[in-house]
């Protein structure tokens, strides 16, 4: 049942020593990034964390970072708008396409086929070749894949970062891509190579894993609240509608097709806001989006 409440207050806490101070040596940076990844792995194993939603939320942040790397910064709200109301045949624009690539990359279990869906302009054999380029421990392999893709496509940092995060997920035995590198790497880091790039990846993963742990804990708390109010919702199709908020970063009322009408969907979303279970994300009076 979707309304069963998991205990979010028992999530393992990130040890303070992981984030205390600034590591100075490459060995210590590597140690801390490994510790942060290990803790993130524990958090991802908790049922209280809505993992699909966590990946979707991090995909939005990764897209925001990638668009900034390309010199045309867009806020998360603008990226949401670029894709939320697309109709068949509409163009989302360059920034929207980057966001769609990240969304598709995290939606399905990581595979060459799934990554080809996220990056339709790239041949599947080329994707497989890049993913096989890296060797060694997870972060070293990730940096190698990142460098290989950037060498071939220097103007496509989003492509390189998606495939590098895919390599990291495969190395760690994760079923899905979890956006991390884009959250922590700076634009200047993408011009580095070899040992300097590996060190930058360790630093980025350390910062991003800490952020992902915090985001996971926050979403677990918000998801618990949504599940708590679920039994109070009497509308026909309410359970299916609530489920959408647990897997999607932003929900337009018109997409809640299990409810009777668009008007009923809008009232349903407003009811969830009144109950403190979801937030209105746009600040607009029309074309609103909601999320936990």
CA distance 2 to 40: 24
| Strand partners for 32 | none
Please give the average per-residue pLDDT across 5-31, as a whole number.
79
Instruction: Single out the residue of 211, 217, 154 nearest to residue 184, CA to CA.
Output: 211
pLDDT in tens, 218-264: 999 999 999 999 988 988 999 999 999 999 999 999 999 999 999 99
Please give the average per-residue pLDDT across 190-203, as a whole number.
96
Instruction: Single out the residue of 90, 65, 68, 64 nearest to residue 79, CA to CA.
Output: 64
Give the pLDDT score at 1. 40
In the chain the domains, ranked by start, together with CATH numbers, are: 19-221 (no CATH), 233-291 (1.10.10.10)
CA distance 224 to 241: 16
Give the pLDDT score at 144. 97
pLDDT in tens, 29-86: 999 999 999 999 999 999 999 999 999 999 999 999 999 988 888 899 999 999 998 8
CA distance 36 to 50: 19
Do 56 and 103 meet the contact criterion of CB atoms below 8 Å apart? yes
pLDDT in tens, 86-125: 888 888 999 999 999 999 999 999 999 999 999 999 999 9
User: Coil, helix or strand for 289?
Assistant: coil
Q: Report the helix count and the strand count for the chain, using DSSP H and E.
A: 13, 2
Please give the model's pTM, rounded to 2 decimal places. 0.93
Residue 167 parent element (H or E): helix 157-172
């Amino acid at each position: 049942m979707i309304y069963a409440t998991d205990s979010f207050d028992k999530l393992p806490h990130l040890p303070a020593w992981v984030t205390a101070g600034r590591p100075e040596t490459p060995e210590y940076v590597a140690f801390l990034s490994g510790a942060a990844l290990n803790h993130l792995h524990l958090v991802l194993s908790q049922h209280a964390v809505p993992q699909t939603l966590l990946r979707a939320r991090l995909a939005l942040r990764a897209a925001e970072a990638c668009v900034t790397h390309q010199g045309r910064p867009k806020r998360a709200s603008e990226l949401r708008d670029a894709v939320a109301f697309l109709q068949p045949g509409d163009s989302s624009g360059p920034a929207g396409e980057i966001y769609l690539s990240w969304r598709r990359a995290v939606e399905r279990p990581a595979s060459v086929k799934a990554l080809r869906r996220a990056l339709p302009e790239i041949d599947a054999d080329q994707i497989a070749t890049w993913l096989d380029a890296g060797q060694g421990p997870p972060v070293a392999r990730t940096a190698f894949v990142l460098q290989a893709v950037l060498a071939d496509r220097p103007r496509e940092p989003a492509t390189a970062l998606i495939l590098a995060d895919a390599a990291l997920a495969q190395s760690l035995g994760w079923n899905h891509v979890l956006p991390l590198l884009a959250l922590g790497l700076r634009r200047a880091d993408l011009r580095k190579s070899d040992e300097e790039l590996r060190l930058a990846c360790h630093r980025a993963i350390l910062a991003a894993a800490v952020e992902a742990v915090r985001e996971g804990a926050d979403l677990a708390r918000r998801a618990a609240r949504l599940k708590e109010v679920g039994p109070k919702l009497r509308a026909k199709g309410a359970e299916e509608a609530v489920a959408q908020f647990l897997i999607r970063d932003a929900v337009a009322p018109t997409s809640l097709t299990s409810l009777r009408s668009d008007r009923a969907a809008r009232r349903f979303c407003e009811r969830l806001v009144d109950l403190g279970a979801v937030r209105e994300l746009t600040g607009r009076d029309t074309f609103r989006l909601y999320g936990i």
